[in-house]
Amino acid sequence: MFNHLTIKNFAIVKDLSIDFKNGMTAITGETGAGKSIAIDALGLCLGDRADANSVRTGTQKAEITAEFDISDAPLASRYLEEHEIENEDQTVIIRRVISQDGKSKSYINGTSATLAQLKTLGELLINIHGQSAHHQLFKEDFQLAILDNYGDLNSRYDELDRLAKKIHSIKKQIEELNENQEKFEARKSLLHFQMDELRKADPKEGEFEELEQEYSKLANIDELINSCHESMEIIRDNDRYSILSLLNNVIGRMDSVAGIDSNLSNALNMLHEAEISLEESYDEIHSYADNIDSDPERLKYLEKRISHYEELSRKYHVKPEELHVFFRDIREEYESMTGLAGSAEELQNQLFDARRAYVAAAEELSEQRRKYALELEKKITDHMHELAMPYGQFSIGVDFEKTKNPSAKGNDVIRFMVSINPGQAPGLLGDTVSGGELARISLAIQEIYAEKVSTPSLIFDEVDTGISGQTANVVGKLLHKIGETTQVICVTHLPQVASSAHNHFFVQKNVIDQSTETSMTELDHEGRVKEIARLLSGDEITRNSLASAEELLNQNK
């Protein structure tokens, strides 16, 4: 439900704060007073484009805040949850700030938001139906959306979209094969050559590093052996000057005095540990020297293998240690191309199967559309009769076209057709009806939507244009009926419609200090009587018009 709207420095509004209620709310006012200005401001909160003209003359920025209670809007709650926007008390506050240069910032519950997010969330909160929306009914895409929304058929789009994308993908592969066959074959031939060369080299992960390490060892075998022997000599084999003999001398000296002063015991223990470590290191070096052997043949193999790695590295411009990755990548590309090249016929078979699956799904959707089209056209026809078109007949054509490009919405062409007069053949909606008739048909569709679609609020911006008299009474009652289950806000110039409302706002334009300002006031019963009387008789309110206004209000209690 739409609870509150605050407008600051927007167009000719200086400061306006409005509380909206349940039921049907009428908004009336003099011509040029700005009856639709609140709707225009709300539209900016719901993602409409803004420009510098939105900002009141002489001010730096315009600010508009709309507050909604979403306790009866589960789709809106889910949207906030999916986008991780805080929503603790089932309230949505949308704020839009527009600067003099036309740039703007938007927020949802204090979180910065894009216009696309405002628009998506707004569609789950409120449906604004203005005069321009009538002409949307002429468009095939809009007609399709009306039918699919009525039948809740949008869930079928996902499968059709998947199949349509699959068809386009396969067709693209086939086109690429046909258009780039020469390049394709040249690339495949190059990959085949590289594959053979690398397969023979058989580079493995970590092998190059291991080869280098082993080569370094065998190439320096003499230095390793000499160093081992010299180290063994220094550690123990030289009885006179070895480290162990000198260490033993030190141990003997410390051992003789440690009994005199126990503070030397720790040092003595460390010397013993050093002796053990030296003995163990000597054994390790001795064992290594005994087991290491030169291997000229292995050394030659390593030189050749490393040289091969380096040659391929230079040739393919990759590091030697990354050759195995390069080999894997070209192997995968080659296998992929081999699969494609060998599957031209297979791709054609896949395309046939995908098209067949798509057509089956599209035909199933088309069948569902025809079913709901019969329901919807009957309901619209019944409403047309109620709205002073007693001979009106509404029909919805659903034509399946197999040749139509696959899309998520199937292959149907939807046509809204209508007949107004007896004996008149149905014609396309845009070619058959007047502006007033179109407004009533549009209103009928909205009333049906209110029963079917979960948007908690509806706004009608002078949708009663072109109607009067008894038809206006019917329209007023219809809007009142919608308001019993859905919040309805209606900008109107008709007394019959205004008197049907549960709540009533009056908009007027004032000049204060040579500056124009628009105000919006909620009317009590007396105020409503005077305003409806004005709508009935013009600016000069008479006793008769007041009586007629009172009568209209009493009829709609």
What are residue 419's DSSP bridge partners?
393
Read off the pLDDT band of 368 (50, 70, 90).
very high
178 occurs within a structural domain: no
d(CA 8, CA 41): 10
d(CA 241, CA 440): 117
Q: What pLDDT was estimated at residue 464?
A: 66
106-115, 212-221, 266-275, 360-369: least confidently modelled range: 212-221
Read off the pLDDT band of 163 (50, 70, 90).
very high
144-148, 191-195, 333-337: least confidently modelled range: 333-337
61-75, 113-127, 465-479: least confidently modelled range: 465-479
Q: What pLDDT was estimated at residue 94?
A: 94
What are residue 93's DSSP bridge partners?
67
Would you say residue 31 has pLDDT above 80? no
The token pair that represents 109 in the structure block: 């519950």
543 occurs within a structural domain: no
Q: Which of the pair, 240 or 546, is modelled with greater confidence? A: 546
518 occurs within a structural domain: yes
State the amino acid at position 380 in one-letter form.
Answer: I
Would you say residue 453 has pLDDT above 70? no
Q: What pLDDT was estimated at residue 387?
A: 81
Which domain, by its residues, includes 384? 137-157+355-453
Q: Which of the pair, 462 or 312, is modelled with greater confidence? A: 312
For the chain, what is the mean pLDDT? 86
Look up the CATH number of the domain holding residue 395: 3.40.50.300
Last residue of a domain, which of 310, 340, 370? 340
Residues 98 and 127 in one domain: yes
200-214, 263-277, 323-337, 504-518: least confidently modelled range: 504-518
Question: What values do phi and psi take at 104, rounded to 5?
Answer: -145, 160
Would you say residue 182 has pLDDT above 80? no
- CB crowding 171-184: b at 16 or more within 10 Å, else e: eebbeebeeeeeeb
Read off the pLDDT band of 154 (50, 70, 90).
confident
Residues 448 and 481 in one domain: no
Would strands 487-491 and 24-29 be described as parallel, antiparallel, or unpaired? Answer: parallel
Residues 18 and 48 in one domain: yes
Residues 442 and 516 in one domain: no
Q: What pLDDT was estimated at residue 93?
A: 93
Q: Which of the pair, 522 or 429, is modelled with greater confidence? A: 522
Residues 145 and 103 in one domain: no
Mean pLDDT of 383-388: 85
Would you say residue 153 has pLDDT above 80? yes
29-33, 163-167, 285-289: least confidently modelled range: 29-33
Q: What pLDDT was estimated at residue 269?
A: 92
474 occurs within a structural domain: yes
Would you say residue 244 has pLDDT above 90? no
Q: What pLDDT was estimated at residue 397?
A: 94
Q: What pLDDT was estimated at residue 136?
A: 72
42 occurs within a structural domain: yes
Mean pLDDT of 408-424: 91
Instruction: Count up the domains in the chain and report the number.
Output: 3
Residues 443 and 500 in one domain: no
Q: What pLDDT was estimated at residue 335?
A: 81
Residues 12 and 55 in one domain: yes
Please enumerate in sequence order all residues whose Cβ is within 8 A of that of 239, keeping only pairs 6 or more positions apart, or say none: 245
Please enumerate in sequence order all residues whose Cβ is within 8 A of that of 92, keeping only pairs 6 or more positions apart, or say none: 67, 68, 70, 76, 80, 108, 109, 121, 125
Q: What pLDDT was estimated at residue 155?
A: 86
Q: What pLDDT was estimated at residue 176?
A: 77
Last residue of a domain, which of 409, 433, 453? 453
Residues 74 and 191 in one domain: no
172 occurs within a structural domain: no
Would you say residue 417 has pLDDT above 60? yes
Q: What pLDDT was estimated at residue 147?
A: 92
Mean pLDDT of 330-349: 76
Residues 70 and 195 in one domain: no
Pick from 525, 490, 549, 502: nearest CA to 36: 490
- Chain center to CA of 129: 25
Mean pLDDT of 427-445: 80
Q: What pLDDT was estimated at residue 423?
A: 80
Mean pLDDT of 44-69: 88
Residues 44 and 109 in one domain: yes
Q: What pLDDT was estimated at residue 348?
A: 87
Read off the pLDDT band of 398 (50, 70, 90).
very high
% of the chain residues with pLDDT over 90 = 32
Read off the pLDDT band of 246 (50, 70, 90).
confident
* Three-state DSSP string of 514-543: CEEEEEEEECCHHHHHHHHHHHHHCCCCCH
Read off the pLDDT band of 424 (50, 70, 90).
confident
Residues 441 and 465 in one domain: no
Q: What pLDDT was estimated at residue 130?
A: 65
346 occurs within a structural domain: no
Q: What pLDDT was estimated at residue 86?
A: 85
Q: What pLDDT was estimated at residue 134?
A: 58
Q: Which of the pair, 152 or 338, is modelled with greater confidence? A: 152
State the amino acid at position 271 in one-letter form.
Answer: L
551 occurs within a structural domain: no
Would you say residue 442 has pLDDT above 90? no
Query: Angle 323-341/181-201 helices, nearest 10 degrees?
Result: 140
d(CA 276, CA 282): 10
Residues 144 and 192 in one domain: no
Last residue of a domain, which of 305, 340, 375? 340
